[in-house]
Amino acid sequence: MATEAGRWVPEALADTADPESACPISPVVDIVFSRWTTPILWSLHAFGRQRFVALERRIGGITPKVLTQRLRQLERDGLVVRTYHPEVPPRVEYEISELGRSLAPLFAHLAEWAGTHLDQVDAARARYDESGSPRP
């Protein structure tokens, strides 16, 4: 390990100039924390298998087009399983995969962090906003 600005970083990353290489969680953040991905995964984890319309209602504010796009991407990433039932009318259900379920501890930790620290973030924002623009 090497020290960089008082933080410990893996030796292999200490001398890299590429910011993406320097942050090993960047690909995870890109996959999991896009605008609608987190609510979709949270809903599927919390409420189980759901049809498209139920998921759309539960999330609220998401358009059908965006929900379709995000579900396809999550299926491609292996985080969501889509099951097509060939009946009349056809029925499609979505559920979180085992891989998606493996993110539950991360979400639980983030929910705990939010409950503990979001008031501090709000207070910091209020102080910043009251002070006007950043000083040179």
What is the C-alpha separation between 51 and 87, in angstroms, rounded? Answer: 14
Q: How many CB atoms within 10 Å of residue 104?
A: 14
Question: Taking 90 as the threshold, does the pLDDT of residue 3 lie above it?
Answer: no
| pLDDT beyond 50 at 121 | yes
Interior angle at CA 96, CA 91 and CA 100, nearest 5: 155
Per-residue pLDDT tens for 10-22?
Answer: 655 555 566 667 7
**Average pLDDT value over all residues in the chain:** 86
What local confidence, expressed as pLDDT, does residue 24 receive? 84
- Entry pTM: 0.74
Average pLDDT over residues 64-74: 96
Q: What is the per-residue pLDDT for 113?
A: 94
Task: Tell me which H or E stretch contains 85.
Answer: strand 80-85
Q: Which residue pairs, CB below 8 angstroms and at least 24 apart, start in 121-124?
A: none
Residue 31 has pLDDT above 90, yes or no: no
Q: Where are the domains of the chain?
A: 24-130
CATH code that applies to domain 24-130:
1.10.10.10
